[in-house]
Structure 1
Amino acid sequence: MGDLSIKILGSGREIGRAGIVVRSNKGEILLDYGASIEPESPLFPLHYPPKRLSCIILSHAHLDHSGAIPLMYTSRALPIYLTDLTLEIADLLIRDFLKISGYYIPYEIMELITMRKCARIMDYGIDFYIDCFKAKLLNAGHIPGSAMVLLSYENMHILYTSDFNMVETCLLDPADVGSINFDELDAIILECTYAEYSHPPRENVEREFIEQIIEVLDNDGIVLIPAFAVGRAQEIACVLYKYSIKYPIYIDGMARKIIYLLTKYNKYSKCNFGEMLRNENIKIVDGWKTRRRALKEPSVIITPAGMLKGGAVHFYAKKIIGDRKNAIFLVSYQGAMTPGRDLLTKGKLTLENSIFDVNARVYWFDFSSHCGRKELLQFLKLVNPDTKLILVHVDSAVGSKFKKEISRNLGLNVSFPKNGDVIKIK
C-alpha cells in the first residue's frame, strides 16, 4: 500500500487563502489555492512547485479559494477540475481582482487565460480519474457551482468539504451529505468557520427581513442592501421575489453579471432567474440614468460590495444615509476594519476617505452560506471515530477550543494544523 498525506498550504488556523495538497507516492493534487485580500497587499498560501502536481481541483470561485491559482500557470499547463459555473465566476472575480487591485499581484491575465484553457469541466456525482486518484464533486450548498471533493487512492478515501452549508436556502439546495459513505472515509478536511456560532433559523431571518423591508418601503423609504456579488446578492433577490415584494428591486454591480450567468447555468439554482428577470419589478441597472431613477422612488437596491469597501454601493449610500426614512440592510459578514463593521458598531460610514454620520436605519441579517455550529455538530455525528478529522478555515482560538470540545465529547481523532504542517493518513 502506498503512502498518503495532506499538506496544509493555507487556511491552517486562519480563515481564507485556502490551499491543501493531497500527496501519494504516485501523484499529488492541489485542492484550492486562494488569496486573502488585505489592506496592504494580498496574502497567498505557501508556495508549492507546480511541476510536482498532477492537477488542481477548485471547489468554488470565491477569491479566498481561487485567487492564487493563476500562479500555478506561470510555467506549465496543469489540468484544473471544476464545475462549469465555477470556471465562469472565477474568471470574472480574478479579472476584477487584477483590474481594481491597488497593489502588485504576481501574475497577469495571460496566466488566467492559460488556466481557462486547462479547465476540465465536471458535473456533480460523476467519478473522474487523475493518475492514481479517483475523484468526485458533490454539491456543497455554499454558492452556485460550489463543490465538496471526494478523493480515493487505492483503498483510502478523503473528503474535503471546502466551504459548505447544510441549510436549504431560497437559492440553493443543502450540501449533498447524503451521498457520502462516512464509514469508508479515512480523513475529512473540514471547514469550520462558524464553529462557535449557530445561525438563526433561515425562515425566521427571511420573515424578519421582509417585515422590515415592507415597513421602510410603505413609509416611502429606500432600502440599500450591500451584498456579496456571488451568492448573497442572488439569494436576496430570490427572497424578495419569493415574497412578491411589489416595489421596484434594482440590482447593480457585478451581481448583475452573476444573475445573467445563472440564467444560463440554471441547474445550479433553485430559483428561476429567467422568469425572475421577466418580472416588471426586477430592474437590472444599466447605467447612471437607472441609478438616479432608483433614488427617486421607494425601492430596494441590491449591490456590491457586501462590506461597503467600494463599488456602486458608495454612490447610493451617500444619497440615502442622511434620511431617517431610509435604511441600510447588511446581509453579509462584516470583517474587522471595514466600512460595514464601522457602520454597525459606530453608526458612522467611511466612504472614499470621508466619514459620514448616518441617520438612516441600519440592520444586520444573518444570511450566512456556511454551516453554523449546529450544522457542524450534526455533521460530526455522522463521522466514524477512526476517521482523521482535520479542521481548517477557522480562527486559531475558535478552532483550538472546538478541537478540544469534539475530541472530548465525541471521541473523534482531531487535528488542527497550522500552515506548513503535514498529516499522514496511512
Structure 2
Amino acid sequence: MTSLTFTSLGGCREVGRNAFLIESGDSNFLLDYGFEIQNSLVPITIPEKINGFFLSHAHIDHSGLIPVLYKSGYNGKTFLTEATSSLAEMLLKDSIKVQERRGEQPRFLTPHIRKFIKNGFIAKYNQKIRLHNGIAEFYDAGHIPGSCQTLLDTNGKRVLYTGDIKFEETEMLHGADTRIKNVDVLISENTYSYKDHPKRREVADKLKEIIQETVYNNGVAVVASFAVGRAQELLLLLYNLGFDVYMDGMSVEATKRILLNPSSVKNPKQLKKAFGRVRKPRSSQERSRIIKKPCVIITTAGMLQGGPVEHYIKKLHNRPECSLTLTGYQAVNTVGRTLLDTGRYVTEGINEKLKMNVNFMDFSGHCGRGNLIKYYEKLNPKKILLVHGEHSEKFAQELKGKGFDTIAPKNGEKISL
C-alpha cells in the first residue's frame, strides 16, 4: 500500500493560519490555507504540488491566503460549498483593504480572488466528489453558513477533517452532522478543549437583559459582532425586542449573501424578515444621528479592529448609560482582548478607560471540551490529530488516558497515517 501522511503547514498548537497537507500516494490534498491576519502569520510554505484543495469555511484564518495559491501557479479546483464561495470572496476583498490600511503590501490582489472563485467546484453536503485518488464528501459543521467537515476516502483510509465545528443548534444554524461512520483518522479542531460553553439560551437571555437595561436607561446598546454567522444570529435574537435595531458594517453585505444561499441557514424566511425590519446606516452623519436616541446597534468588527464600531465607541465612550457587548473570540493583541484584559480602549492614539458598561457574552461558534470528547467517543477513530487550539498538547495527554491514539502535531511535522 502506498503512503498516507499528514503535514501541518500552520494552525497547530495555535489558533489561526490553518493549512494541512494530506499526501496520498502520488496525490496531494490541501485542507484550508489561512492567514492569521491580526499578527500577519502565514503558513510556513506553499505546497509545490496540489491535486485538490478543500475549504472548510470562509473565515480568513482558513481561507485568507487561497488567492496566493493561484497567484503562485495553482490552477486546480477549490472544493467548497456555495455559501462559502460567496462569503470567502467578500472577506478576501476586505482583507486586501485591511492590509492596505496597515501600510502593508497586499499579499494578493482582486484578480487572484477572481481566479479562486472561477476555479471553485461547488459541492453540497453529502455529495460524493470523485478525485484522482479517492472520494471526498462534505458534512455540515454547524460553525457558520456553508461550513463543512471534509471526509477524504483515499488510499484505504477514511480521514475526517472537522474544520471549525459546533454541535449545539442555534437561532441561525443546525448543529454539526454527527452521522459520519468508519473514520480511521480524525483531524479535529480543539479551540476550546479546556472549557465548556454556557447554554446558548442562557447567553441569549443575558444579552437581552443587558440591552433592555441599556435602552430603558436611555442608552445605546452597541453589540460588536463578526460579520459572518454571529451578526445574523444576533439579528434573529434582537430584531423583535420592540426597540430600534440597526445593523452596520460588513455584516449587512454578509447577510445579503447568506440570503442568496438560503439552504445555508436554518430559517431563511425568518432571517429575511428580520433583515428587512432593521435599519442600515450608511454614513458617519447617519451614525452620529441615530445614537441621539436609545437603540441597539449590531456592528462590526467583532474584535474592535476597525469597522463602524470604532465610530460608536469614540462617540459613546463617556456615557455610562450606554453599553458595549463583545460576542466572540478575542485574539491576543487585538483591541477587544486588550479591553477585556485591562478595561482600557487602546487604538490609534487613544488610550482610555470606557465609561460604557462593557460585557462579554460567549456566543462561540465552536464546541466546548465535553462535546468534543462525546464526538470522539461516537466516531471512535483509530487516530486523532489535534489542530486549531492553544491547549492541544494537554488535551492530547488527556485523550490518551481515555484510550485514544492522539497526537498534537507541530507545524512542519510530517505524520504517517
**SS at structure 1 position matched to 2:363:** coil
How far apart are residue 107 of structure 1 and its match? Answer: 2.4
Which residue in 2 is equivalent to 1:46? Answer: 44
How far apart are residue 240 of structure 1 and its match? Answer: 1.0
Decide which of 384, 390, 410 is 1:389's aligned counterpart. Answer: 384
CA contact (8 A) 1:223 1:326 kept: yes
> Percent identity, aligned pairs only?
34
In structure 2, what is the Cα distance between the partners aligned to 1:402 and 1:100? 34
Superposition TM-score, scaled by structure 2 size: 0.95
- 61-70 vs 354-363, which moves further: 354-363
CA contact (8 A) 1:83 1:121 kept: yes
In structure 1, what is the Cα distance between the partners aligned to 2:38 and 2:321? 35
Q: Does the alignment pair 1:416 with 2:408?
A: yes
In structure 2, what is the Cα distance between the partners aligned to 1:107 and 1:219? 47
**SS at structure 2 position matched to 1:36:** coil
Q: Which AA in structure 1 matches 2:176?
A: A
How far apart are residue 246 of structure 1 and its match? Answer: 0.5
How far apart are residue 12 of structure 1 and its match? Answer: 1.5
Q: Does the alignment pair 1:159 with 2:160?
A: yes
Q: Does the alignment pair 1:226 with 2:227?
A: no
Decide which of 53, 57, 67 is 2:54's aligned counterpart. Answer: 57
Which residue in 2 is equivalent to 1:28? Answer: 28
Structure-to-structure mapping, 1:350-365, within 5 angstroms: 350-365=346-361
In structure 2, what is the Cα distance between the partners aligned to 1:145 and 1:199? 23
Which residue in 2 is equivalent to 1:81? Answer: 79
Decide which of 242, 247, 250 is 2:243's aligned counterpart. Answer: 247
Which residue in 2 is equivalent to 1:399? Answer: 392
How far apart are residue 59 of structure 1 and its match? Answer: 0.5
CA contact (8 A) 1:17 1:45 kept: yes
In structure 1, what is the Cα distance between the partners aligned to 2:320 and 2:75? 56
Q: Does the alignment pair 1:265 with 2:258?
A: no
Which residue in 2 is equivalent to 1:138? Answer: 139
- 98-107 vs 306-315, which moves further: 98-107
> Are the structure 2 counterparts of residues 142 and 292 from structure 1 closer, same or farther at C-alpha, using a change threshold of 3 Å?
same
Which residue in 1 is equivalent to 2:215? Answer: 217
CA contact (8 A) 1:83 1:123 kept: yes
Q: Which AA in structure 2 matches 1:147?
A: C
How far apart are residue 289 of structure 1 and its match? Answer: 4.0
Moved over 3 A (4+): none
Task: Note the alpha carbon deviations across 1:105-126, whole angstroms, 9 max, x for none.
Answer: 3322222111111111111110
**SS at structure 2 position matched to 1:149:** strand
Q: Which AA in structure 1 matches 2:416?
A: K
Q: Which AA in structure 2 matches 1:24?
A: S
Decide which of 322, 326, 339 is 1:326's aligned counterpart. Answer: 322
Decide which of 336, 339, 349 is 1:340's aligned counterpart. Answer: 336
Q: How many residues are treated as equivalent by the alignment?
A: 411
In structure 2, what is the Cα distance between the partners aligned to 1:139 and 1:290? 39
Task: Note the alpha carbon deviations across 1:259-313, whole angstroms, 9 max, x for none.
Answer: 111221111112432221333xx11223334312320211111111111111111
How far apart are residue 348 of structure 1 and its match? Answer: 1.9
CA contact (8 A) 1:58 1:80 kept: yes
Q: Which AA in structure 1 matches 2:118?
A: K
Task: Note the alpha carbon deviations across 1:347-379, whole angstroms, 9 max, x for none.
Answer: 221232211231111111000000111211211
Q: Which AA in structure 2 matches 1:405?
A: E
CA contact (8 A) 2:235 2:275 kept: no
How far apart are residue 100 of structure 1 and its match? Answer: 2.4
Q: Gapped runs of 5+ residues in structure 1?
A: none
CA contact (8 A) 2:167 2:367 kept: yes
In structure 1, what is the Cα distance between the partners aligned to 2:63 and 2:305? 20
In structure 2, what is the Cα distance between the partners aligned to 1:289 and 1:14? 41
Q: Which AA in structure 2 matches 1:418?
A: K
**SS at structure 2 position matched to 1:283:** coil
Task: Note the alpha carbon deviations across 1:25-69, whole angstroms, 9 max, x for none.
Answer: 131111000011144xx211121334x211211000111001111
Task: Note the alpha carbon deviations across 1:82-130, whole angstroms, 9 max, x for none.
Answer: 0111111111111111122121233222221111111111111100111
How far apart are residue 154 of structure 1 and its match? Answer: 4.2
Q: Does the alignment pair 1:68 with 2:61?
A: no
Structure-to-structure mapping, 1:85-104, within 5 angstroms: 85-101=83-99, 102=102, 103-104=104-105
Which residue in 2 is equivalent to 1:192? Answer: 190
Q: Gapped runs of 5+ residues in structure 2?
A: none
CA contact (8 A) 2:25 2:155 kept: no
In structure 2, what is the Cα distance between the partners aligned to 1:114 and 1:35? 18
Q: Which AA in structure 1 matches 2:146?
A: G
In structure 1, what is the Cα distance between the partners aligned to 2:120 and 2:160? 22
Provide the aligned C-alpha RMSD in A: 1.4
In structure 1, what is the Cα distance between the partners aligned to 2:77 and 2:272? 33
Decide which of 371, 374, 396 is 1:375's aligned counterpart. Answer: 371
Q: Does the alignment pair 1:4 with 2:4?
A: yes
In structure 1, what is the Cα distance between the partners aligned to 2:20 and 2:331? 24
In structure 1, what is the Cα distance between the partners aligned to 2:332 and 2:46? 30
